[in-house]
Each structure stands twice: as structure tokens, then as C-alpha cells.
Amino acid sequence: MSQLYRLNKDGYINRDKKISFVFNGKKYFGYEGDTLASALLANGVHLIGRSYKYHRPRGLFGAGVDEPNAKVQLYRGTETEPNANVTEVELVEGLVAKSQNCWPSVYFDFGAINNFLNKFFPAGFYYKTFMWPKNFWYKVYEPIIRKIAGLGVAPLTPDKDRYEHKYEHCDVLVVGSGPSGLGSALSAGKNGARVILAEDKPRFGGSLLTDEVTIGNKKGNEWANEVILQLKSMPNVTVKNRSQVFGYYDHNMMVMFERTKDHVENPKKFTPRQRLWYIRAKEIIISTGSIERPLVFANNDRPGILLASAAKEYMKVYGVLVGNKPIIFTNNDSAYETAIEFKKNGINPIIVDTRESSDNSVVKEAKNLNIEIKFSCGLANTRGYRRVNLATIGKFNSDKSGYEKLENISCDCVCVSGNWTPTIHLSSQSGNKLKYNDALNAFIPNQQKQNETTIGSAKGSMTLKQSLEEGFSKGFELSNKITNNNLKNTAPTSNERNYGQHDKFWCMPLPKKKNYKRFVDFQNDVAVSDIELAIREGFRSIEHIKRYTTLGMATDQGKTSNLNGLQLVSNIERKIVPEVGHTTFRPPYTPVTIGTIVGREVGKHYRPTRKSPMHEWHEKNNAVFVDAGLWLRPRYYKQEKETLLEASTREAINVRKNVGVCDVTSLGKIDIKGPDSAEFLNRVYTNAWMKLPIGKARYGVMLREDGIVFDDGTTTRIAENHYHMTTTTAQAVNVLAHLEYYLQVVWSELNVNVVSTTEQWAGAALAGPNSRNLLSKLFPENDVSNENFPFMGYMESELFGVPARIFRISFSGELAYEINVQSSYGIFMWEKIIELGQEMNIEPYGTEALSTLRIEMGHVAGSEIDGRTISYDLSLEGMLSKKKDFIGKRSLIREAFTNPKREKIVGLIPLDQKTMIPEGSHLVKDGNATLPNPKLGHVSASCWSAEYNNPFSLAILQDGKNKIGEKLFAVSPLKNRNIAVEVVSSHYVDPKGERVRS
Amino acid sequence: MQRYSIFSLIKNAFSNHENWDVAWKDPEPKKEYDVVIVGGGGHGLATAYYLAKEHSITNVAILEKGWIGGGNVGRNTTILRSNYMWDANGLFYEYGMKLWENLSQELNYNVMYSPRGVINLAHSDAQLNTFARRGNSMRLNGIDAVMLNREELKKMIPFADFSSARFPIFGGLMQPRGGTARHDAVAWGYARGADSMGVDIIQHCEVTGFNVQNGKIQGVQTTRGNIKTKKIGLCVAGNTSLLAAKLDMKLPIESHVLQACVSEPVKPFLDHVVTFGAGHFYCSQSDKGEMVMGGDLDGYNSYAQRGNLPTLQHVLSEGLAMFPNISRLKMLRTWGGIMDMSMDGSPIIDKTHIEGVYLNCGWCYGGFKATPVSGWTFAYTIAQDRLHELNSKFKLNRFNTGHLIDEKGTATKVWLG
Amino acid sequence: MLEIKCPYCGKRSQNEFSYGGDANLKRPELGKEVSDKVWDDFVYYRSNPKGKHSELWHHVSGCRQWFKVSRNTATHEIFKTSKLDEEL
């Protein structure tokens, strides 16, 4: 199909390169440099989608990020994107787009029934109904409403694209490349500052791309082009297009996304789709320009009705006519530019101006071109379902409350202009409290809060001359604060048409006895009557009105609607706009792809994976891994078709019978040095540390200041003033910060240093009756007899030439040792252990067997030290020193902590000796009692005892101390279990702890 | 009160909706009230409503410094649940769920209670066990809870990452009756209900001081004059410490900002509320189609109702770890709310050492779902001058006695706030 | 994202640091009898001001030093940072 509305001149598109695309199943052509919007318009397509609530036909309204209507479902290869803004989608070969929120098609949409019933759906109607019968909201009404709502369709498969992040610093960040932005970037750059210039659109220049102006002796667009080339040649300046600065965060942290892929026809494999820039700038120049405001009138939402500035942009940038029979409807001079542009292209527009007259130069020029102008008129209504085809023009009565006479004029587009709204989003996000400018009828920035400076039309300086002057002078001034180079540049002279004051009249009266919708927010279908209703019902704060009517809450975030809404409220309430106030501007300025915000932390890279140096060995030996914090640890080593329970029981039995080896690298390790180390440990742990001899280890428990158990582990005295502390895997990071806090903040008088050595040591635990025999094979030159190397002993040696630390400590309750070597020798150590252990039937064991071993020994771990238990509960009260003070001790005397009936750790055995008690079960007197059934305690850990070949569990039980021997029920309603159990001691195996000392 | 129904809606449609009454009035403050509620948020409005409804105390004023419903009741992620482990919380919130179930009818205002199920995903057997402990506790308290395995979850949320996740999904705990409600409607519904029974809702009226004599409250000073009263209830979560300071009270509370965000609306694909167990992310899809998402605190004391992007980046990375398909959706709106972070993560609803001053605070992240039951119990406490069984554990002095209610086991470390 | 000047390393972005709460909290002296009130105030009670707040930060992804920051909790403006033994 040919591009009927394409002019044969003008625009920055590449007419040599034709691009095909598909919209709603039909193939069209555009040119390289088109947006999807301009290409559709070139083909005469205005109807793009349906509105949110009433499913009214909607077309293109703007040409940029302010577009409220034209959102489509986009398909590129295998990926799809909902709610793509057609004014921002650059045309590439093979693009497929579809209208959304309509069924079966955008031309005929069943949802449009809502439009005929719109009388029954005013603002907030859903709060007033759907309440009967009670369950129908969730079962009937809500599912229907959910289906009707929503716009596009979310992909249901993972995004294959890649997103990247970049961190950057600069002296001056300039946001927006219109005349003021270009001027300031050039001026700051020439003064030696490190400058980043960011432009949201593919093309630099802003209004210079469309305005008939001259700067120096050049046309505006040529000047912009030259400045950009100049900036690009400067090593201290970075120029970025397709880059939207969307957030102004604390301490001048600006965040920007750059579109790097979707506009490229054949992107390279690893090209990221978008890049997120975190930019810390010393000075921020906000030259974001302004957005044209719509006028509000009956049926102002039809396809073909659009902003005058957008119509001009389509002509000037893309060489596209938005129609052949245009009506320009305005309350100000700027829209005359659009009319003149039409005229130049051989089209005869009619201007409808709400003002009585205007004689500024641009108006005179229009008159000279014989353009028909109807002053003191407004659009009273429009017609045309899928595209506007008729406008009812009304001559105002004297107070503009109605029309003296109406006249129908056929048309195929209406270009509206209700004056300009400065884009103050970033300025406001910086903390700047905005002020109202009466001349503009808009908010502009006020007192600076951070290092932000707003210039040009974003600040309300609406002429080119002002914009250039502000740009050049602020660019110099702000850069000079940093560089002190004093290289001043002054703004070039410029020439532009003059505009006068706009008419502060923007909401047209309805024709007599008519109830047409006059839309303020197009996408969310918020009409004047909705705002009137909200106020009538007492929703008077602007935030209430926004929430009740959903004004400004659509995907365009009210860029074209917010101010009109405010003005309407101020009119109804007879207040001035600043008294009504405005809703808060928050990031993001435009919607940001979630993948872009996240970057590369996706899939397996969501968080780092920590692996021990022996990881590959575990993999080769069929280890099944478990996440332990960021670490991957072998849970069990699977043989043939074993289940988890079979494998872990096998491994645990082998430890009890022979010897096993377990990778304990992930345990936290902290090196402690300094003359006050013993004193420090004495304060940190609940037990005594002053007399620990060199070469000995000791088990310790630490509390939080609130008395709750924080962590446990062993600490070994390696030398006079040198200790090696171990922590649990889970708390390693927190314990280090905890120690640093006390050493630096609380007890700075202590001369102690701590440093994490977790990654420096690979650890292997040998456990089982054969472990000493194996140790002697590993260290043939050392005497590892019980006498020479007793329980809690420590020695340093060499493992076949590799320096090693050997600890005689045990978590399994068996005779056990832990060997540490430098990480890089971890695999060497491990393989030696396996090799020499063969004759003793060594088997590696994982965390599940480890868990079994510790449970039946009654050793506590993470499932008991759960941040809610105190030493007493865990039967660790014997380790609370009475002689000294320590962290958290003072909290232990509180009422709840000294209650003699407090919880206590106990063991449980099912009466049938067979049924495993699910972890997370609760203990009750009567498993079948009525609810709520009082709980006496809970099952914290369960295992199949390797020693006794029956189930055994640990539980934390109220008054557990006095309940040994009692029969209770362990219930798990979730699993429908009710198991009769006997309460026994938590030390099920080797209660006297003889094995570890044997 | 003008009743809302489909019939009144149709009737009013024919008069162009020009005959609707105001939802609540805008009165001038009187000189004296029986009870003054400070804070026109969800909890304050609900408290006033139940004072009038349950205790026939109607000479009540709600003083709101801004506009009602502008605090946390209007800036949350709308989740309702009672999936708590400790009895003190479980029974309290469960009573709240029962109030939610009838709230639209009770208030004659559609609060859109949607029991779509709240699913907590677990990413290890150990986590499943801690969830089992909680779920079993719920069941023994008569609260609904079910365990879901991977296969069941695959049917419910097939787009979640079941194949290449860093922390694979092992299963989940679901409270089927948990769900969402329309947050603004809750505030407005209570406001309309309270107003209709005679409560004065006074907006743009900031409390600047208190008159206390001989340990008894006599009245409040406000930006709109002095108001006498013998009873005053503080419902100003986020700013409780500031008002308490005017009463020379220090509280076990820090104010922190919690951010949330929504995506652009899309057609429905997520029918439940789902939380990510290997992080703090939670999300649901609103009736409008927006993904409503939240996560973790920004991490430092804050009274600014806005946060910083790295926290959102972190939270959304958790979101993509759970639902990798939402990567191409766009984040539309972000906001922050100021949380009263109490030191054990549970609220305080109690009397104070000043006669006639009642405290309702410390809601942490969970205040929205508590709105009805918080108002209900607080109204009881104010009216009867004693605690109800349901809030009997939410005493201020539990921080002195050690009877803490720590759901997560992560309570205060002095240096971690 | 805040920009915090570590007194040892210089200005860094907030994501290198972790927060440590009220810097005015004084841990009661070890081994000394203190009243319940003094102890509970230390463990649980916070002044939590809106406005100027002296607080601790920890340069966890840097020099691992704790230090003091004076910050406005309403605007996040940072007035000053100092080493622990210096006046803020």
C-alpha cells in the first residue's frame, strides 16, 4: 500500500530505505527514520487502540512520551512487549504490532458496549455496587472486570534479551537537547567540564527540529546539527540519544535508560537491549522543554484529534500529513505555526481560536497566507467514530458559558493547542517545591534544593532567545564552579516569531442539553463530569480526586492531563490553582522496563554462587547440592537409585561405624589478633575465655544484646595473641560486622583486630571411630594419640608438604577432626583423605547425614538457634558465666526469660518407633482437641537415627525440663499427621559425650 | 447515609449523577469531644467507626494533618492475610480476616475483598519446614493453610522460574483466604461510615501539642485551635515517635521507608499474591492489571516518602528471579511509605502512663491488613480503658518484660536498628 | 542513592555501606549495675527524630570501618561525617 499521506519533501527520514511492517495483520511501508507512529500516519492509519474503560476508538494524540492513547502489543522475533508507545517505537524491518484491549478487533470491539452504558459507569462506580451477594465480588464480578481491564498481554516466558548497567560520574549532566540544552552543553564543554548530554529521542535538537527559526546565520536545525557535531568531537563531552533520564534521586544521583538494540535492524548477538546509567553529577541542567496541553471539549478523544505540535512534528520531522482537511483549534499563538506549515504543504486549514483576536507576527503571517481564522469560537462537539469527520464550531456568547451559534464543518483531523506545560518532573523529583506561574497557567521550578538548575521552556522561558541565553550562561556558570577555567561563551543571536498571551480558557462548554463526554485523561477515560462528581461527593483534595477518578494514573502518568485536571478543580472549587496544589511527581518520568532496572542479576546470576575448592570433586561423585546461604554444599552423595533418606542414613551409619569426611569449607572463619583478644572473646561469648591455653579450642555461644542466642562455634587459640574463630555458615557475615561494631564503636580501648578468612581455608571434617587412624596416615610424622592430641586440641602440621591446621573438634558427636589447608590445596587434601581412607571404608557425607548425626547427639543448629531462643531453651545455660559480664547478659534477668516454665529442648521418639515426625509439627496434649488447640512446643529437627534405627526428633517444649517421659502428640495438620510421641532427653546418643573424648 | 447499590447507581445515572451526597462532611472542629483520634489513616478512621458502632461513642473527632487516607493506607500493596505463627498475631489477624470478609456489606462500600490466596514460596526443604511450623500453628489456631508442592505450584504459576532459578522453588505455603482489597476504598468506606454516625472528620488539622495535667490528658493543641478531650488515641504510624515526643515518650520504634511500585497494566495472568522466599519480594496483579510489587526497606531511618533506586533494583531482581517473564513489563509508578518499625516486628495497641492517652503504632510492613481489627480492638481499649483479649499481647511494656512477639526471629541487634 | 563520605576512603555511593542506627546510643559499661530503664533504653528505645540524626554507618564493602554521619532523616541531606572519636 502506498504512503498516501507522505509528503514528497521535508523530514529527516531516509527515503532511500523502505521498511515494511505489519499492523493488525496488514502490511505497510515506511522509511528508515520513521517511528511506528509516523509510518502509520503516512499510511493514513489513525485508529490505533481502544481506551481503558469505555473502549472508545482512539488514535495518535502526540508525537512523543506524552502520548496517552496509542499503545500497542509489539512483536519482534520471538519476543513480545505490551503497551509499547507507537510514538517511541522506531521502525525496523519485520516489526509486527497489534492493537490491544479490544476484541475481536480494534475496528469492531465488543468492549465498546461500555461506551453505550457509560452513563452507569461514572468515576468510582465500582465502590457503590458489586456488593451483593457477598461472595460474588470475588467469584463473578472481579474476574469479569479483570478480563476487561489491563492493556496488552504480558509475555509468559523468560526475556531472552540482556540488560546492562553503567556507573558514570560527570561535572555537568544536561537533560534534553533543545536549544537551551545544546547551549548549556556547549558552553560547559568549552569551559572544560566533563559533560553528559542526554536526549530521549533518536534525534537531537528538540524544538529546533520543527521550529522556523534562525540562530546566527543558520536555520535552527542546522545550528543544532553543528553543535552536536562539535560536542561529539570534544573528549570531555559524552552525547547520548535514545536516552531518557527518568529519575532524580538523592545527592544528585540521576538515573537514565538508553535504548541500544530495538532500533537496530541486525543487532549483534550480545548487544544489550537497554542500558541503565547511574550518573552522579556535580551539576544538573534540566532542559527538558515543555509539552503542549490539550483543550477540553465534547468528544475530544476521537482518532484524528491530536496536538498541534505533534501534527507539526509529523510534517517537519517525518514528512507526513496527519490529514488533508485540518482544523486547528487553539487558545494561543503557537498553533498558528502548524497551520502555516499545512498551508505551505498545499493544505487549507481552518483555525478556530478561542480568543477575540491576536495580532502577533505569527497570526499576521497566517492571515497573509489567507488562512481562515474563526476568532471567539470553540469546538462544541465532534463526530466520526473511527476517525473524526465533522467538527461543530460554536461562536461563544459573551461570557463563554455557551454558544451563540453552531456550525458543522467537515474535517479529517483536529489539531489542538491549549498552551504549554513545562516539563518539571525532574526538577520536582529533586525536592524543588514548584510555584505556579500565572502567565503560563502552569507550575515551574522554585527554590533549588539539590544541584539542579532548570532552564529554557522547562522553566517557563518560552522564547528561543531566552532559552539560548539561559543555556549558554548557566552552562558557563555551573561548569566554572568546577573547572575555574573562565572560558566564557555567549549565546548567538537568534530570530523567531513572536507569540503573545494565551487565552486562559481551555474547557469548552457543552452545547445546550447535551451530555457529551469531555475527556481530561484520555487513556483512563476521565471526563469533566467525573471530576465534577468526585468533588460533589466530597473528594476535594487533589490526591483524593486523582485516586477516585484515576486522573493521571494511566501509563502516560497524566503528562497531558494533570494540569487540565487541576485547573478544572480550581474552577469548580473557586480556588486558585496553587491552593489546589499538585500531586507528587515521582520517578520514573516515563515507564522503565523492569529488566533494565535489574540488569544482569537474572537467572543463575540472581545472586552469587559460592563453591568450595572441592566442588568439582563433589559433582563428579554424584553429590546432590543444597543451598546454604550463597554456598552450594553437598547434601548427599547419591548411589544408584537411593532416596535422600537412604543415602543420608547410609552416610551417617558409615560415620558411626567407620569414618566419613565432610566438606566444611563454608563455615565462617575469623582471624582474631591482638593483646586484648582473650578479653574480647570473654565479652563476646557467654562462657569464660581468659584461661584458654595456646593450642586449645573451645566451644562458645554468643548472644545479641536482647539476650537471644545469636550464633555458636569454636574458637581456637593459635598463639599468645592469635585466635581462630568459626561461625555458622549462615551468620558468618553478621558475626564479623558484630565483632567490628564492638571493637570500633563500643570498646575501642581493646587492642584487637578481626578479619574474615572464610575463603582462605578449605575445611574437611573427619568423623568416626576410624578417624584417628586416618589422621595418623595423613600426618604420619605427628603423634595424634588421645594423650598427645586430646579432644579440643589443636596442632599445626604439614599434609604431605602442605601447611595444615588440625582441630580436634566434633559436630557429629563422634571422634572427629577438622583439617584446614589453604584453599588452593583443598582438592589435594580432599583427594588424599579419600585415597588414604579407602582401607578404612571412608565415605564422604553431606549436610543431611551431618544433620542426622548432630540431631541424635542433641547438638543445636540453625533450626533451634532461630533468633527467638535463649541459652536456657537450648540447654546451653550451663555456659552462661556467672562471674563475668558479656553481651546480652543484662537482658537475661527479664521476667519472660526467667520463667521456670520456659521452653526447653527435648528429644522425641514416636511411640510406634516407626513414624518419622515431620519437622514443623507442633506438640499438643490432644491431637483431636477443638480449635484453637493450645500448642506446647514445636518439632525443630527430625532424623532417622543412625544409631538406633528408628525416628528421633528434637523439639522445643514448654516446661520441657519437667516433661521427660510424658506422652504427647506431634501434630501436623498440613500433612494430616497426629503422632503419639514420648518426650526423652535431647541427648539421644552417647549422652555422656564419651566418643568425642575416646 | 445515602445507600449505595446497583439500583441507586442506575437511578442516579438518569439524573446525570448530580444528586449524590458527599461521602463525608467537612466540619469545623468543635471545642470539645469525648474522644479525639489523631490520624485520619485507615486505623484512625476504623477506630472512630467502631467507637461509634460498637461502643456508641459518637462525639468523636478525627484530626488529620493532610487528607484522609493519604498515609500508609493509601501507599501499600493491599495484601490481606493472617498467616502468622505466634498466637498473639495469628488470632488477632484472623479476627481481622473475619471483619474483612463482611466489610463491603458492613460499610456499604465495595472494598473489593478478594480472597485469591497468598502463597509464600519456599526454596529449600529447611524453608519448607519453617513454613510448616507456621502453617501448622495456623491450622491449630483455626486459620486456613495448605502446603503446595512444586507440581501444584506449576499449575498455579506456570510462568515462575521452575527451570533455571538460582534458588529453585521447592514448594510453598498458601493461605487460600488471604488476598487483597482496594486500599483507598477501605479508608473512604470507614470515613463515610464514621461520618454517618456523627464522627467529625477534620482534615488539614495538625496536632501541635497536648495538654496534660496531673498525668491526665485534657486536650490537644492544633493548627485549627485547641480541642478539649479526656481521651485521645494516637493512630499515626510512621510519625508516632514525633507525637510521642510531644508527650515526653520515647518508643521502641524507628521510622523507615518502604518502597513499592506498579508495572503498566496488562491482561490478567497472575491470580494470587505470591511472595519470594529467597528474598523479600512480593507481588499481585491488581484488578486494573498492574503488577503491584514491594520488598525490602531502604535500610536507614527515613521520614521521606520516597526511596532510592538501588533498593528497587534489588527488589525487582528478586521479582525476576521468581517471575522471569515480567522482565519486559515496564515499571510505571513508584512510591514510599513511612513504616513504624517496632523492635520485634509486632504492633503496639495499649494504654500509656498518661491517663486517657492510648497508643496504636508499630505496624511495620503489616498495617493495611490490620486496619479493621486494629480499629476494632483500639476502639475497645479506648472505650473500656482496658485491653481486649485480642490485643492483650501487644503491650508496650513487653520490651521490658521480654514477652516479645518476633515472627521472623530477626529482632533488634543494637547496631542493625 | 545517597553519597556518603567515608572519613577514611572519601565519597562513595551508599551501596558500599550498611547502616548502624542511632550513634548517640551508649552501651552501659560492662560489669556495671544498671537500672532496667537504662538497659531497655539502650536495647529498644530510640529517639527517632525527624530532621537531624546522628547515626552510625559501616563501610562494609570498603575499609570496614564504622563511622558517624549527621543526616537529615526528612531530606537525606548529609551535614557531616566523622570518625568515631571525632566530634560530629
Distance from CA of B401 to the nearest CA of C (A): 10
Q: List the 676-695 stretch of A: residues with Cβ below 8 A of C.
A: 683
pLDDT, mean of residues C16-32: 94
> Is the minimum CB–CB distance between C20 and chain A shorter than 8 Å?
yes
> Is the minimum CB–CB distance between A543 and chain B shorter than 8 Å?
yes
Give me the pLDDT at residue A207, please.
Answer: 97
Q: List the 339-398 stretch of B: residues with Cβ below 8 A of A.
A: none
Residues of chain A below pLDDT 50: 1
Contact call for B404 and A539, based on CB within 8 A: no
> Is the minimum CB–CB distance between B69 and chain A shorter than 8 Å?
yes
Give me the pLDDT at residue B411, please.
Answer: 57
Give me the pLDDT at residue B415, please.
Answer: 43
Q: List the 33-52 stretch of C: residues with Cβ below 8 A of B.
A: 36, 40-50
* Cell matching residue A736: 564479623
Query: Do residues A70 and A59 lie in contact, with contact meaning Cβ atoms separated by under 8 Å?
Result: yes
Contact call for B253 and C48, based on CB within 8 A: yes
Distance, first Cα to last Cα, chain B: 47
Contact call for C30 and A683, based on CB within 8 A: yes
Please work out, in degrees rounded to the nearest 5, the angle formed at the alpha carbon of residue C4 by the alpha carbons of B415 and C8. Answer: 80
> Is the minimum CB–CB distance between C25 and chain B shorter than 8 Å?
yes
In words, the CATH class of domain A610-666+758-867 is alpha beta
- Report helix, strand and coil shares of chain B as percent, to nearest 5: 35, 25, 40
Distance from CA of C54 to the nearest CA of B (A): 11
Tens digit of each residue's pLDDT (9 = 90 or more) over B238-270:
999 999 999 999 999 999 999 999 999 999 999
Give me the pLDDT at residue B416, please.
Answer: 45
> Is the minimum CB–CB distance between C44 and chain A shorter than 8 Å?
yes
Task: Select from A97, A82, A80 the least CA-distant residue to A159.
Answer: A80
Could you give the CA distance from residue A331 to residue A338 in angstroms, rounded to a whole number? 13
Contact call for A890 and C13, based on CB within 8 A: no
Contact call for C21 and B399, based on CB within 8 A: no
Q: Which residues of B touch C48 (CB under 8 A)?
A: 241-242, 251, 253-255, 301
**Structural domain boundaries of chain A?**
14-133+141-148, 163-290+422-495, 610-666+758-867, 670-721+729-752+870-898, 902-998
Contact call for C85 and A748, based on CB within 8 A: yes
The 3-state DSSP class for residue A405 equals: strand
Q: Which strands make up the sheet holding A372-374, listed edge to edge?
A: A305-307, A413-417, A326-330, A350-353, A372-374
Tens digit of each residue's pLDDT (9 = 90 or more) over C53-78:
999 999 999 999 999 999 999 999 99
Environment class of residue C5 by beta-carbon count within 10 Å: exposed (0-12), middle (13-18) or buried (19+)?
middle
H or E stretch at A714: strand A709-719
Distance from CA of C55 to the nearest CA of B (A): 9
In this structure, which CATH number among 1.10.486.10, 3.40.640.10, 3.30.2270.10, 3.60.70.12 belongs to the domain C3-25+41-83? 3.30.2270.10
Task: Select from A896, A935, A866 the least CA-distant residue to B404.
Answer: A896
**Which letter, b or e, does each residue of A845-860 get, where b requires 16 or more Cβ atoms within 10 Å of its Cβ?**
bbbbbbbbbbbbbbbb
Q: List the 551-570 stretch of A: residues with Cβ below 8 A of B.
A: 553, 555, 557
> Is the minimum CB–CB distance between C10 and chain A shorter than 8 Å?
no
Instruction: List chains touching C (3+ CB pairs under 8 A).
Output: A, B
What phi and psi, each to the nearest 5 degrees, are found at residue A113?
Answer: -55, -35
Domain boundaries A670-721+729-752+870-898, corresponding CATH code:
3.30.70.1400
Q: Which of B239, B297, B300 to mutate to test the interface with C (most CBs of C within 10 A)?
A: B300
Could you give the CA distance from residue B411 to residue B416 in angstroms, rounded to a whole number? 9
Instruction: Evaluate if residue B388 carries a pLDDT over 70.
Output: yes
Distance, first Cα to last Cα, chain A: 92
Q: Which of A166, A249, A250, A738 to mutate to test the interface with C (most CBs of C within 10 A)?
A: A250
Instruction: Evaluate if residue C17 carries a pLDDT over 70.
Output: yes
Contact call for B304 and C50, based on CB within 8 A: no
Q: pTM for the full model?
A: 0.97
Report the CATH fold assignment for A902-998: Elongation Factor Tu (Ef-tu); domain 3 (2.40.30)
Q: Which residues of C touch B310 (CB under 8 A)?
A: 1, 14-15
Domain boundaries A14-133+141-148, corresponding CATH code:
3.10.20.440
Which ipTM did the prediction report? 0.98
Give me the pLDDT at residue A660, please.
Answer: 98
Query: Do residues A635 and A846 lie in contact, with contact meaning Cβ atoms separated by under 8 Å?
Result: yes
> Is the minimum CB–CB distance between B13 and chain A shorter than 8 Å?
yes
Distance from CA of C52 to the nearest CA of B (A): 11
Provide the 10 A C-beta neighbour count for residue A489: 18
Contact call for A597 and B309, based on CB within 8 A: yes
**Structural domain boundaries of chain C?**
3-25+41-83
Give me the pLDDT at residue B414, please.
Answer: 47
> Is the minimum CB–CB distance between B335 and chain A shorter than 8 Å?
yes
Query: Do residues A21 and A48 lie in contact, with contact meaning Cβ atoms separated by under 8 Å?
Result: no
**Which letter, b or e, does each residue of A521-556 get, where b requires 16 or more Cβ atoms within 10 Å of its Cβ?**
bbbbbbbbbbbbbbbbbbbbbbbbbbbbbbbbbbbb
Instruction: List chains touching B (3+ CB pairs under 8 A).
Output: A, C
Q: Which chain B residue has its CA at the smallest distance from C25's CA? A: B414
Query: Do residues A170 and A234 lie in contact, with contact meaning Cβ atoms separated by under 8 Å?
Result: no
Contact call for C58 and A252, based on CB within 8 A: no
Candidates A251, A278, A745; nearest CB to C84: A745
Tens digit of each residue's pLDDT (9 = 90 or more) over B111-134:
999 999 999 999 999 999 999 999
> Is the minimum CB–CB distance between A108 and chain C shorter than 8 Å?
no
For domain A163-290+422-495, the CATH architecture is 3-Layer(bba) Sandwich (3.50)
Query: Do residues A293 and A615 lie in contact, with contact meaning Cβ atoms separated by under 8 Å?
Result: no
Could you give the CA distance from residue A849 to residue A843 in angstroms, rounded to a whole number? 11
Task: Select from A396, A328, A340 the least CA-distant residue to A364.
Answer: A340
Contact call for A740 and C66, based on CB within 8 A: yes
Q: Which residues of B touch A538 (CB under 8 A)?
A: 22-26
